Amino acid sequence: MKLLLCMLFCAAAVMAADKTVYDFTLNSIDGQPAPLAAYKGKVVLLVNVASKCGYTPQYSALESAYEKYQDRGFVIVGIPANNFGAQEPGSNQEIKTFCSSKFHVTFPMMAKVSVKGNDITPLYQFLTDKSSNPQSGGEIKWNFTKFLIGPDGRVITRFEPEIAPDSPQVTSAIEEALASLKS
């Protein structure tokens, strides 16, 4: 019996270690299933966003980065969440209208989810799990936390909200990840 339990536990641990962001599907901001596997082979920046946050102006830098690098295999995925100070209270349609009219967002936007707490979406449960992602795991602290994902679907690094998308740290990490696409 102990051997069977050990085998089951070990198999579960191996399966968890093999998981990537490509194993998750969110809904697009328009309500359609959006499997993250659609981004296989690309460099992805996942960002939990909010419309009424002090960091909301980062949408401009996110859009600029997307425009600059999208032709090289880079995509940004905006994931609205209302977990911090009720700073994303709107419906998906209101969020979409806000992002396109105020910041001219063209990168993919997902439907609003929860990024922490009892109702955390499975993607963020995975991203913040220290056993799956020891270097970048840990609870989301605020809006505009950024996860850089490599072409293999694994987390490369995490940037906290105060690190702007156009900072040298983020830009060099994106460029380094994109350079790996050529090899």
Q: Are 116 and 11 in contact (CB under 8 A)?
A: no
Catalytic residue among 6, 10, 53, 99: 53
| Alpha carbon distance 117, 139 (integer Å) | 9
**Residue 4: Cβ within 10 Å count:** 8
- What one-character-per-residue DSSP string does 14-38 give? HHHHT--GGG-EEEBTTS-EEEGGG
Q: Tell me how far apart the alpha carbons of residues 122 and 161 are, in angstroms, rounded to a whole number.
A: 21
Instruction: Show Cβ contacts of residue 27 under 8 Å, excluding neighbours closer than 6 positions.
Output: 33, 34, 110, 111
CA quadruple 9, 17, 120, 22: dihedral sign: negative
* List of residues 6+ apart from 137 with CB closer than 8 A: 127, 128, 129, 130, 131
53 is catalytic: yes
Catalytic positions, please?
A: 53
